[in-house]
Structure 1
């Protein structure tokens, strides 16, 4: 069995910590939960979340900087989507744990 040496483990822990800090905000979690379902523009995100456009732009910039979200131009608008497999998997897991209908 391959073991992770302490230096490599420290590097991994730092990367995971940065990832968790990037998603550890209620507004950013809402954005990621919506983007895991479909590509959206800022107006659609604003309507779906109730987050003001300036705050949305700040959060999207942070998520882009951390490599979790990407954008592309379509005509005059920017469309946002998840760019990280890790974000896709973590948000899907969180959705299953916390958002799925509870069965008794």
Structure 2
């Protein structure tokens, strides 16, 4: 599969997550406070709720239901109750377009 346009960069507000679905894969797209665009799995690994409804702070996205914070860079939970990471997707910016391939995840250490 190739990367697909999901949003325009101009559609994103800083420190806010937007939910997109590509081929039945829910993804939270975030423009962080430093201007970097991130894409992580939109389903909390603890409570099966949408992370894009949560709160962005720095380079984390906090689940609104139970408070677990996930790193936007690695997908790892930074606190309990979640202990499983969410996938992190490669983001390509082409002009104003944000492109994501839901079959390509970042390798994080």
User: Structure 1-normalised TM-score?
Assistant: 0.24
Query: Which one has the bigger strand percentage?
Result: 2
Query: Which one has the bigger helix percentage?
Result: 1
Bigger radius of gyration among the two: 1
User: Structure 2-normalised TM-score?
Assistant: 0.23
